[in-house]
Amino acid sequence: MKAKLQVLEQEIATTTKDGVEYINITDIARYKNSERTDDLIRNWLRNRNTIEFLGIWEQLNNPNFKPVEFDGFKKEAGLNSFTLTPKQWVEKTGAIGILSSRGRYGGTFAQKDIAFEFASWISVEFKLYLIKEFQRLKEQEFQQLGWDIRRNLAKVNYLIHTDAIKENLIPDTLLPQQINAVYASEADLLNVALFGITAREWRDANPSLTGNMRDHASVQQLVCLANLESLNAHFIDQGLGQAERVVKLNELAIRQMGILTSSQNPLVEKGEE
């Protein structure tokens, strides 16, 4: 079960199966009648236009769809005697656009195009709000994915950074607590160069926040941090002292953050300027 959509005060569940996004149309049906959701979905499935739409979607997206069984449903659709449940549709045709499950988080789920079609049958207004909210959720997930990628990039570069520290700054005779102090000192060098404060100063200033300052950094700061870690590793290999390195790194941080946060930068993400 993934994040839920909030549409006109109605909560709509979503899920993903085999890389396909599904929206709970049982929740959509509740917007019209919370006590007759199954009946509403079955009535929608009885419609000839619905059957044709579902069949075309499956033919475009599902190589294992059974066209013979689909033709049988299409011939009967619209007749007074014709009834069809989501489970019957899936079992008879091998459809993948609709999922049906029972239990606490069960219900009938449909691929987003199909869910939007059902929402239009329920209420055109509801469909438009549903599409808007779904797009907002996708943009939010995309931005989070971008943040995670950059956070992982910073972690990878940090390994390069710590290897340089271990190779050049830590003699074999140091005790474990002394070694940790060296790593912490170098990490704080980067913190001061980029953020202007040490890790402890940040914690003292933000007692209510969890994690560290890097967990709360912007995308631009994480990109810059990844660059600074690589550069600091290079400066350490060159034998530069900490005092000289922090000045150089701070100058580079100011320059890079100016470029990364510039409104002229095409890579600046919406909402991260």
User: What does the pLDDT look like over 203-240, one tens digit per residue?
Assistant: 899 988 888 887 888 877 887 888 888 888 888 888 88
Q: The whole model's pTM is what?
A: 0.51
Per-residue pLDDT at 161: 57
Mean pLDDT lowest among 32-46, 48-62, 97-111 = 97-111
Q: Which residues contact 64 (CB under 8 A, 6 or more apart)?
A: 94, 96
Q: Which of 43, 69, 41 is nearest to 55 (CA)?
A: 69
- Convert the pLDDT of each residue in 41-84 to its tens digit: 999 999 999 999 999 999 999 999 999 999 999 999 878 888 89
- What would the pLDDT profile of 163-185 be if each residue is shown by its tens digit? 655 666 555 554 566 666 766 78
Residue 270 clears pLDDT 70, i.e. is over it: no
Model confidence at 260, pLDDT cuts 50, 70, 90, reads: confident
Q: Is 55 exposed, middle or buried (0-12, 13-18, 19+ CB in 10 A)?
A: buried
Q: Is residue 272's pLDDT more than 50? A: no
Is the pLDDT score of 122 beyond 60?
Answer: yes
Phi, psi of 212 (to 5 degrees): -125, 180
Helix (H, G, I), strand (E, B) or coil at 270: coil
Indicate the pLDDT class of residue 146, thresholds 50, 70 and 90. low
Between 235 and 261, the more confident residue is 235
Q: Measured between alpha carbons, how far is 257 from 269 in angstroms, rounded to an integer? A: 14
Where residue 157 falls among pLDDT bands split at 50, 70, 90? low
- Six-digit token string for 132: 């808007």
* CA–CA distance, 223 with 161 (Å, rounded to integer): 15
Question: Region 104-132: what's the mean pLDDT?
Answer: 86
Q: For residue 91, is pLDDT > 70?
A: yes
Under DSSP, is residue 75 helix (H, G, I), strand (E, B) or coil? helix
Closest CA to 257 of 219, 217, 224, 215: 224
Q: What is the mean pLDDT of the chain?
A: 80
Return the residue matching tokens 């000192």: 185
- Give residue 86's pLDDT: 92
Burial of 271 (0-12, 13-18, 19+ CB in 10 A): exposed
Q: What are the φ/ψ torsions at residue 4 (nearest 5 degrees)?
A: -100, 145
| Three-state SS at 20 | strand
Percent of the chain scored above 70 by pLDDT? 76
Per-residue model confidence (pLDDT) at position 271: 44
Q: Report the alpha-carbon distance of residue 265 to residue 258 in Å, rounded.
A: 10
Residue 2 predicted with pLDDT over 50: yes
Helix ranges, the chain (H):
25-30, 37-46, 48-61, 67-76, 86-93, 112-122, 124-168, 176-195, 199-205, 219-237, 242-260
- Residues 7, 126: contact at Cβ < 8 Å? yes
